[in-house]
Structures are given as structure tokens and as C-alpha cells.
Structure 1
Amino acid sequence: MRPAILIHGPTASGKTELSIQIARKYDGEIVNADSMQVYRDLKVISARPDEAEMADVPHHLFGHVPASERYSTGQWLEQARPVIEAIQKRGKTAVVVGGTGLYLLALTQGLSEIPPVPEETRHEVLEIAKSEGVRGLKIRLQAVDPEAAARIDDNDRQRLSRAYEVWLATGTPLTSFQSKRSKPVLNEDEWLGIALTPPRAKLYSRIDKRFEGMLMEGAMEEARQLVAQDIDPDLPAMKAHGMPWLSAFIRGEIDAALAAENAKRDTRRYAKRQFTWIGRQFPFWPRIPSTEIPTRMRVVSALYKEVDR
């Protein structure tokens, strides 16, 4: 069985291009590990690989979920497991690529079995976040789950909300569930993980240029179609990079220039948080700071020789 190759990195760091090159070299098939690229309605906004990029390499778990659904890490893991096993049975290399670190952790470390959180609880926590801010969430979480509060960044609204939701819904701290994990899909000797860590200035510039390109490729039209569906704005698909600001423009609340500038700013901030996440959650994954594909491929090839023995 060929070891899988896992590619992580911040948004716009070039994961798609590298994954295709790796799949071509190692007779691989690509498996999506990006929580936004699973959504059918977010082709442009999520920077999903286009038809040309997917033409000669099989791709899995891209664009198969309606934006009206709330897709979880547990669902992804349940779907990714048989896909990866099938790729391996065919004698090919599974290339798992994405910026959603929690997916990759679940794949290699297992996943905690956390009961589903009722929608009314989600809305309750959302209202708390709106009225008290992330600081208020942090204070509330410190009182009921100090371990989770200490581990989660002060500005990570999503993870703070998630931890507090779990406590409200179950009366049990999130850390109690996290100590009990399912068996990982990939054992320690069955995969190679790499993290792309390009220079911040280059990455931020690329983020800005990519968003401008998205607008030219139909991001605004895609956003209009989503807004027309009257989807709950609290669903994950409606929080994709730029989507809240494009929605505000479509509703006439802000002008186009402000929508674009805010979208770029928020995406840069998200990339910064991804760097922090990589540093904390993937401390032993080899880093590849180069932005050049030939250099990246040389590093991957050298590392893969060590695990594929």
C-alpha cells in the first residue's frame, strides 16, 4: 500500500497546483480536505479546482454538498475513509489536500464522538457572540471548560462558539469528548504530511490578486445565486471567504469597493490564523516555504522516499 500524501497550508498558498503535480508523479488521486470546496454552489468563491485542473487526475469530495446543508468534520471523515481505502486498493497514491486542518487531524488522529448540537443552541450562542463578542464567549467558556478556553485563540470565534455550544447542549466540556477518539483512517506509518508556509507578504499579495480574479471569473454572480436562495446566513457556505461582504453589497448595504477591500482583509486575517494553527497543531510536519513548484516537488520527493520503503 502506498503511503498517502497530505498537503496543508493557508488559503492561496498553492496547494491545488502542488497536489496535481504530486498526483501526476506518483500515480495519485486527489481527495479534498477543504471545508468550503465541498459545497456545490461555491465553485469560484472557494477557489475549487476547475475542469481543466481536474481533467487528467481523479478528484474526490469536491462540490458534492448543497450550500443549504451544514457539513461537519464527522461527515467528511465518514466519506473520506472509503474513498481513500478504494484509492489504496487500486494501488494508487491518495493525495489529500486542503486548508481545513481539523479534517487532516481527524484523518491521522481520529475524531471525537461529539453529540449533535441542536439548532436552537447554535442560535443562542450566535446571539451571545453578537452581543458580547469573542471576549464574552471566551469568559463564558473559561468558566465551564477552562482547558478548551486556554487552547483556543482569543479571536477564534468559530472554535470558541463550537466549544461553548457543546457545553450548553450536553453539559459536558468539549475536552471530555476530545479525550475519546475514533481510530484514525491512516496510521502513523501510512502517510506523509507537509505544510506550505510561503512568505507572508507574497501570500497576502496573492490573496488580493486571487480575489480580484474571482470577481472577473463570476464570484459576484455566484454570490447573487446564493443570496437568491435565501439560505440561513449562519450556515458555513454563507461564511466562505468574501461571501458575507459580497452578500452585503448585493443587499445594497455597502458599495462594491468596500465589499472587495473587506473581503481581501478578512481573507488575509484568516490566512494569518491558519499559520498559527499550523504552528500549534502540526508542529512536526515539514515546512516548505518556497513558492516555486520545482523546489516544492524536490522537497516532497526527498521526504516521500523516506516513508515509501
Structure 2
Amino acid sequence: MKPRQTSSLRETTSTKSVAIIAGPTASGKSGLALELGEALGGADRAVIINADSMQLYRELPLMTACPDARDMARLPHRLYGVLSATDRNSAADWRRMALAEISAAHEAGQVPILVGGTGFYIKALVEGLSPIPAIPEQITDDIRQRIEAEGAEALHAELKARDPKMAAKLRSTDAQRIARALSVLKATGISLAEWQAVAPEPPPDDLRFHVQVVMPDRAWLYRQCDARFALIAAKGGVDEVRALLAMDLPPYVSLLRAVGVPEIAAYCRGEMGLEEAIAAGQQSTRHYAKRQYTWFRNQLPPDKPMESRGKPPHDRKLQVSHVQTAQLSESFLAGF
């Protein structure tokens, strides 16, 4: 069975509309989602669903740039801060939660608006996910304990010996993905690379996806990254990271690798000054935005990208977003 082919608006032969607003960090996705939801009729007609892997966790709302209380009061928000730092989560887990929230929104007569920058989550929802069996927790726990005791590089070497194809896809320091690959191999006897090659399970047939990828000018985006990270650090981000470190979490916990957290953690441990940590965190954020930008351009190309060239001041970006909001809301209302 071939994966379902989807166009730039990712339309299926379905009757229930789902809006998806994706793009790199600091690109204005959340603001566009709010504008769209209000254009569709507000809280009675729209609900925002998180599609960002780090915003699922409750411990770092500032560092992960979660919507604040004022934004959450404008429209219903789902799947923000629903997990603890120690909770396990995967693309398959998020997909199940997202599909449940989408179904609940439709039952309530609302248009679900998914917004986030975790491209793999969005692709898993729209195009399906390979049917990898559930892995017993005992196997996962054993391998994570080994990573904590022996280090990620040692287990990467083991993976390279047992599954060179999968090992070649992973950095030797990527503890989480190394643990996942070894867990799948031990539980199923089959390489994760082979599972990933299996045709994905498609999304429900009754869903019709409309995908908008926000792609602002890169220079503008990088300035936004720098300004936002500095503001987050000044407004409580340092305290959030300090509290996270006090939890004494194992090194494979995802939140410890959230963008900017390692740099602020280094400051909290006295390994660098605050200005140096902020500068390093800004650089990490820009690098992350660059990777996202490239991924979305190559993996999830939209029909009508919100893209600007040259020197787009913020007003220009907002002007484009209003045009796109009107176009998208008209499309959703026609198909909902």
C-alpha cells in the first residue's frame, strides 16, 4: 500500500476540515493561528491544537515559547503542557492525541487548527506513520539505564555493530534516538530503518487537510530568534531551567535538549556567564530555525507559502498573514 499522496493544501477525499499552520520557530505561527481562529468565528468555531514536541511538556512554558495566558484566553488551546518531563512521548503518541482532539473539535462544531514546528509530527499526521509495534517499557527502561551508565556513544557503537544502517542515520551523541533504535531492534528483531521503510498507515479518510507553511525572510527570522530568546531569558527562562535541573532528571529526558536549555543550564551550573549563555542560546535558536526552514521547504512544501523576499518589516509580514488568513478561513468555512 502506497502512502497517501497529498497536495500543497493536503486535501483528501474527506469532508472534515483540519487547518495546519507550520514553520520555523519565531516565524509567527501562533499569531496566525489566533487570527485564523478568530476569523472563523472565535471560541465557538475554532480550537488550537499544539503540534510542537517540546510544548507538550509543562515544565518550560517560557523556554519552549508556549502561548501565554492572554493568548489562551482568546481561543481554546489543546495539548499544551499536558505531559511531565519524565513522561514518554513519540510521534505516534502525539498523533493519537492529536487525532482525538481533532475528533472532539469536529464533534463540537469547531475547526481544529494545528500549529507547531515539529515537522515530523505534522508529516506523521498528514501522510501517516510506519506501523512500528509498541515496545515493552522494560526494554526501553533497560536501554535508557544503560545509556545513563555507559553513555550514548558506547551504545551507538553497539548499534553500529548490530544495525549499521540505522546507526549511520544517528549522531553518536543522540541518546534518545539511539535508545529508540536499540529498543526497537531488541523488541522486534528488525531494524528501525526497515520499519520506517514500511508504507505508513494513512490518516482517517474523512479528514481534509489544509496546510500553510510560514516562511518569512531569513534575516528577519534570525532577528526574531535573537530578540525572543533574550526576552525569554530575562522574563523567567533562567528560573525555569534552574527548576528543571533541580529535578535531577536522567540525561535522556527530551526537555534537557530543548533549544536554549543546554546553554542556560551551563550558566546555572556556573560554567559560563549569563551574557555568554544568552548569546550561545541565540545561536542555537538560529541554527534550529535554519534546520526547520530547510526541512519544511523540502519535506512539506505548501501551495501558497507565506514567504517574503528582500527586507520585509514586521508590518509587511502581518499584511501577508491577514491576506492568507482571509483565504484560509474562506476555504475552511466552505468545506467545514
In the other structure, the counterpart of 2:200 is 181
1:177-201 superposed Cα distances (whole Å, 9 cap, x missing partner): 23143341465x6110011111111
Which one-letter code corresponds to 2:203 in the other structure?
P
Shift of 1:35: 0.6
Q: Give yes or no for contact 1:16–1:97 (8 Å, CA) kept in 2.
A: yes
Q: For structure 1, which runs of at least 5 residues remain unmatched after alignment?
A: none
Farther-moved stretch of structure 1 (235-244 vs 177-186): 177-186
Q: Give yes or no for contact 1:163–1:173 (8 Å, CA) kept in 2.
A: no
CA distance in 2, matches of 1:141, 1:275: 34
Shift of 1:160: 6.4
CA distance in 2, matches of 1:137, 1:9: 36
Match of 1:24 among 17, 38, 42: 38
What pairs with 1:234-249 in structure 2 (closer than 5 Å)? 234-249=252-267
Q: Give yes or no for contact 1:88–1:94 (8 Å, CA) kept in 2.
A: yes
Find out whether 1:259 has 2:306 as its counterpart.
no
Shift of 1:104: 0.9
CA distance in 1, matches of 2:205, 2:216: 27
Q: Give yes or no for contact 1:141–1:163 (8 Å, CA) kept in 2.
A: no
Which one-letter code corresponds to 1:182 in the other structure?
E
CA distance in 2, matches of 1:204, 1:140: 40
Q: 1:41 to 1:14 in 2, by over 3 A?
A: same
User: What is the count of residue pairs matched by the alignment?
Assistant: 302
Q: 1:59 to 1:279 in 2, by over 3 A?
A: same
Which one-letter code corresponds to 1:216 in the other structure?
A
Q: 1:159 to 1:71 in 2, by over 3 A?
A: closer
Shift of 1:161: 3.6
Shift of 1:2: 4.8
CA distance in 1, matches of 2:294, 2:162: 21
CA distance in 2, matches of 1:44, 1:251: 20
Q: 1:22 to 1:230 in 2, by over 3 A?
A: same
Match of 1:143 among 146, 164, 182: 164
Q: 1:236 to 1:208 in 2, by over 3 A?
A: same
Shift of 1:140: 6.7
Which one-letter code corresponds to 2:282 in the other structure?
K
TM-score relative to the length of structure 1: 0.85
Q: Give yes or no for contact 2:153–2:173 (8 Å, CA) kept in 1.
A: no
In the other structure, the counterpart of 2:182 is 165
CA distance in 1, matches of 2:248, 2:329: 47
What pairs with 1:107-146 in structure 2 (closer than 5 Å)? 107-114=125-132, 115-116=134-135, 118-122=140-144, 129-130=152-153, 143-145=164-166
Shift of 1:145: 4.3
- Report the 3-state secondary structure (helix = DSSP H, G, I; strand = E; otherwise coil) of the residue aligned with 2:201: coil
Q: Give yes or no for contact 1:138–1:154 (8 Å, CA) kept in 2.
A: no
Farther-moved stretch of structure 1 (96-105 vs 106-115): 106-115
Q: For structure 2, which runs of at least 5 residues remain unmatched after alignment?
A: 1-14, 309-313
Q: Give yes or no for contact 1:30–1:58 (8 Å, CA) kept in 2.
A: yes
Which one-letter code corresponds to 2:61 in the other structure?
K
In the other structure, the counterpart of 1:47 is 65
In the other structure, the counterpart of 1:11 is 25
- Report the 3-state secondary structure (helix = DSSP H, G, I; strand = E; otherwise coil) of the residue aligned with 2:49: strand
Find out whether 1:299 has 2:299 as its counterpart.
no
1:169-223 superposed Cα distances (whole Å, 9 cap, x missing partner): 3432224323143341465x61100111111111111111001110121001111
Q: Give yes or no for contact 2:39–2:326 (8 Å, CA) kept in 1.
A: no
Farther-moved stretch of structure 1 (165-174 vs 244-253): 165-174
Q: 1:210 to 1:140 in 2, by over 3 A?
A: farther
Q: Please report the RMSD computed on the Cα atoms of aligned residues, expressed in angstroms.
A: 3.0
Which one-letter code corresponds to 2:141 in the other structure?
E
Which one-letter code corresponds to 2:216 in the other structure?
P
Which one-letter code corresponds to 2:272 in the other structure?
I
1:48-101 superposed Cα distances (whole Å, 9 cap, x missing partner): 000001112010011111112232222212211121111112221110000111
Find out whether 1:289 has 2:307 as its counterpart.
yes
1:215-261 superposed Cα distances (whole Å, 9 cap, x missing partner): 12100111111111111232011111111111121112222122111
CA distance in 2, matches of 1:276, 1:130: 27
Q: Which has the larger radius of gyration?
A: 2
Q: Give yes or no for contact 1:137–1:161 (8 Å, CA) kept in 2.
A: no
Quick one: higher RCO (CA 8 Å, sep 6+), 1 or 2?
2
